[in-house]
């Protein structure tokens, strides 16, 4: 479809809202909606595309009202809505992206399906163990069942914390919800301690008043426990290296596996010898293993919540590395901590000479890369300061460069 202005009507406006150039036949121009431009060469206009963007875009210099802009921000980011996509710190202060950089955050493994399967498995096994333990009069089998039941709740807590921890940052939680897994690990420790108290009480009571135990039933049910708990521990083993929360669930499974092995061994012995006190004795040995595991998780979880220096990171070595850089005059106000069980956060003030911002930014990029490569620090916050580096008369200027 073409629109053209008649040669004898200079007052008629063109589709662009302006007058036609010229009034003679030689200056007639045609606008094609298919190509989006004028056909021909009117004086002063070689190619004039139809201004769709100018029509749809508000005039420059006119800003939206503050209330409207605030509503747009609220609609795009609810109070607890995760930040979508890679976001730069230059745009806002809640999230950012290091996509394509060597110190990009490591994506934790997807532990959800494994936790769900382990939860289902640990709900079926203890039901059979409770029935068999009552019938066989085995406190070790009953303690194993109680431990498995407590593990159902512990694994459920781990799964819920895992789902919460994967939520992105929001306005009120700029670090996200990654420490939910740390809290879940502490809850799991509390459940393990409570189960240990029950097992110790029942074992001591059986020491004083031993009861005959049916070795055959104990063996069959212990075999079921060994297979189920062994499979669960195998499923969670790899993820336990990256998440303190999953490690708590993994230690639950390892405790159950050892309990089932001990119960199986006691059942085999009871087939040949009536050593009925062996059953509660093995239960006490299992409790010792559980308490040792609880202490390991508790110490690490409390360290994360207290922002303690990550295990294996020597802050003095990090400071020495930064100070050896030729462009750095000094380093102070160092802090290192963990936001969650994965990743190390680090912040410090770096003193440099008075120099262009672009040069300082390049230095910060180099230091951040080396901090990740040498020390595994994937959340570095470097604040650069200029104090003259020994030159008198220079003022104090601060420039903060953030990387996380």
- What is residue 30's predicted lDDT score, i.e. its pLDDT? 53
Q: Do 293 and 322 lie in a common domain? A: no
Give yes or no: residues 288 and 329 share one domain.
no
Tell me whether residue 271 is in a domain: yes
**CA-CA distance, 381 to 348, in Å (whole number)?**
7
CATH number where 396 lies = 3.30.70.1350
Reading the block at residue 45, the tokens are 């206009």
Can you give the pLDDT at residue 135?
Answer: 79
Three-class secondary structure of residue 4 per DSSP: strand
Burial 175-191 (b: 16+ CB within 10 A, else e): ebbbbbbbbbbbbbbeb
Residues 281 and 392 in one domain: no
Q: Is residue 361 domain-resident?
A: yes
Angle between helices 244-272 and 139-165 (to 10 degrees): 170
Segments in 166-243 forming alpha helices (H): 180-208, 215-237
Co-location of 148 and 278 in the same domain: yes
- What crossing angle do the helices spanning 244-272 and 215-237 adopt, rounded to 10°? 160
Do 295 and 388 fall into the same domain?
Answer: no
Q: Is 158 part of a structural domain of the chain?
A: yes
CB atoms within 10 A of CB 365: 15
pLDDT of the residue at 389 = 55
Please report which confidence band the pLDDT of residue 76 belongs to, taking 50, 70 and 90 as the band edges. very low
Provide the terminal-to-terminal Cα distance of the chain, rounded to the nearest Å. Answer: 55
Rounded Cα distance between 66 and 139, Å, is 69
How many residues appear in the chain?
A: 404
Contact status, residue 145 vs residue 199, Cβ threshold 8 Å: no
Residue 189 has a pLDDT of 85
DSSP string, 61-95: T-PPPHHHHHHHHHHHS-TTPPPPS---TTT-SS-
- The domain tally of the chain equals 2
Based on the fold, state whether residues 298 and 202 are members of the same structural domain. yes
Single out the residue in 275, 305, 335 at which a domain terminates: 305
In a domain, 223, yes or no: yes
> Where residue 147 falls among pLDDT bands split at 50, 70, 90?
low
- pLDDT category at 388 given cuts 50, 70, 90 is low
| 236 and 336 inside one domain | no
Do the Cβ atoms of 155 and 115 come closer than 8 Å? Answer: yes
In a domain, 26, yes or no: no
pLDDT computed for residue 367 by the predictor: 94
Query: Which range, 36-40, 213-217, 291-295, has the best average confidence (pLDDT)?
Result: 291-295
Identify the pLDDT of residue 75.
41
What is the pLDDT, as a whole number, of residue 351? 93
Of the residues 270, 305, 340, the one at which a domain ends = 305
Strands in 397-402's sheet, in edge-to-edge order, are 328-337, 345-352, 379-386, 397-402
3-class secondary-structure state, position 384: strand
Are residues 358 and 299 part of one domain?
Answer: no
Average pLDDT over residues 169-182: 81
Which secondary structure element, helix H or strand E, spans residue 128, and what is its range?
helix 112-136
Please state the rounded mean pLDDT for residues 195-203: 84
| pLDDT of 86 | 38
**Is residue 136 domain-shared with residue 217, that is, in the same domain?**
yes
pLDDT tens digits, one per residue of 321-372:
999 999 999 999 999 998 877 778 999 999 998 888 889 999 999 999 999 9
- Which residue range(s) make up the domain with 223? 112-305
Q: In this predicted structure, what is the pLDDT of residue 250? A: 79
Most confident listed range (43-57, 100-114, 228-242): 228-242
Measured CA to CA, the distance from residue 233 to residue 240 in angstroms comes to 10
Residue 162 structure tokens: 């895992």
Q: Which two tokens stand for residue 90?
A: 């230059």
Query: In angstroms, what is the C-alpha Rg of the chain?
Result: 35
pLDDT tier, 109 (very low <50, low <70, confident <90, very high otherwise): low
249 lies in a domain? yes
- Asked if residue 224 and residue 342 are part of one domain, the reply reads no
Give the integer Cα–Cα distance in Å for 347 and 350.
10
Instruction: Please indicate, yes or no, if residue 172 is contained in any of the structural domains.
Output: yes
pLDDT digits (tens, 9 = 90+) for 259-308: 778 778 877 887 887 787 887 888 788 788 778 878 888 888 888 889 89
Share of the chain above pLDDT 70, in %: 64
Question: Is 333 inside any structural domain?
Answer: yes
Which residue did the predictor score with more confidence, 237 or 315? Answer: 315
Q: How much of the chain exceeds pLDDT 90, in percent? A: 13
The DSSP-derived string for 252-301 is HHHHHHHHHHHHHHHHHHHHH---TTHHHHHHHHHHHHHHHHHHHHHHHH
Q: What is residue 25's predicted lDDT score, i.e. its pLDDT?
A: 46
pLDDT at 364: 93
What is the pLDDT at residue 237?
Answer: 76
Residues 165 and 288 grouped into a single domain: yes
User: In this model, does residue 20 exceed pLDDT 70?
Assistant: no
* Least confident interval from 1-10, 204-213, 254-263, 330-339: 1-10
Instruction: For residue 7, give the H/E element and its range.
Output: none
- CATH of residue 289: 1.20.1510.10
- Residue 156, Cβ density class (10 Å: 0-12 exposed, 13-18 middle, ≥19 buried): middle
> Which of residues 254 and 365 earns the better pLDDT score?
365
User: Quick one: which of 219, 195, 191 has its CA closest to 287?
Assistant: 195
Cα–Cα dist 198/89, whole Å: 51
Which residue blocks in 137-179 are alpha helix, DSSP H?
139-165
- Identify any residues that bridge with 31 across adjacent strands, giving them in sequence order: 3, 38
Domain boundary among 305, 329, 350: 305
- Local confidence band at 374 (pLDDT 50, 70, 90 cut-offs): very high
- Tell me, yes or no, whether 375 and 248 share the same domain: no
Does pLDDT of 42 surpass 60?
no
| H-helix or E-strand spanning residue 400 | strand 397-402
Residue 299: the pLDDT is: 87
């Amino acid at each position: 479809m073409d629109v053209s202005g008649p040669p004898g009507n200079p007052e008629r406006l063109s589709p662009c809202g302006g007058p036609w150039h010229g009034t003679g036949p030689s200056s007639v121009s045609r606008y094609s909606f298919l190509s989006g431009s004028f056909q021909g060469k009117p004086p002063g206009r070689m190619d004039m595309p139809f201004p769709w963007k100018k029509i749809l875009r508000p005039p420059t210099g006119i800003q939206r009202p503050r209330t409207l802009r605030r509503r747009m921000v609220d609609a795009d980011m609810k109070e607890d809505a995760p930040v979508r996509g890679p976001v730069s710190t230059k745009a806002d202060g809640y999230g950012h992206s290091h996509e394509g950089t060597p110190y990009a955050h490591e994506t934790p493994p997807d532990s959800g399906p494994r936790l769900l399967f382990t939860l289902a498995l640990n709900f079926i096994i203890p039901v059979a163990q409770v029935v068999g333990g009552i019938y066989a009069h085995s406190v070790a089998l009953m303690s194993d069942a109680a431990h498995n039941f407590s593990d159902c709740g512990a694994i459920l807590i781990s799964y819920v914390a895992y789902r919460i921890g994967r939520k992105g940052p929001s306005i009120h939680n700029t670090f996200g919800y990654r420490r939910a897994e740390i809290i879940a690990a502490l809850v799991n420790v509390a459940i393990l301690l409570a189960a240990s108290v029950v097992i110790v009480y029942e074992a001591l009571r059986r020491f004083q008043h031993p009861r005959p135990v049916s070795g055959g039933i104990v063996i069959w049910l212990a075999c079921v426990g060994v297979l189920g708990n062994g499979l669960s521990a195998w499923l969670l083993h790899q993820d336990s290296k990256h998440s303190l929360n999953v490690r708590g669930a993994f230690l639950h499974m390892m405790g159950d596996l050892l309990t089932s092995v001990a119960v199986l061994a006691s059942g085999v012995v009871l087939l040949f010898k009536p050593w009925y006190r062996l059953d509660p004795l093995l239960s006490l040995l299992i409790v010792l293993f559980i308490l040792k595991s609880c202490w390991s998780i508790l110490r690490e979880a409390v360290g994360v919540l207290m922002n303690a220096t990550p295990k294996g990171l020597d802050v003095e070595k990090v400071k020495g590395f930064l100070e050896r850089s030729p462009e750095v005059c000094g380093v102070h106000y160092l802090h290192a901590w963990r936001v969650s069980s994965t990743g190390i956060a680090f912040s410090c003030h770096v003193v440099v000479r008075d120099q262009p911002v672009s040069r300082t930014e390049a230095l910060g990029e180099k230091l951040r890369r080396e901090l990740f490569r040498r020390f595994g620090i994937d959340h570095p916050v470097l604040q650069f300061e200029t104090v003259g580096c020994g030159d008198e008369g220079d003022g104090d200027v601060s420039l903060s460069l953030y990387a996380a």
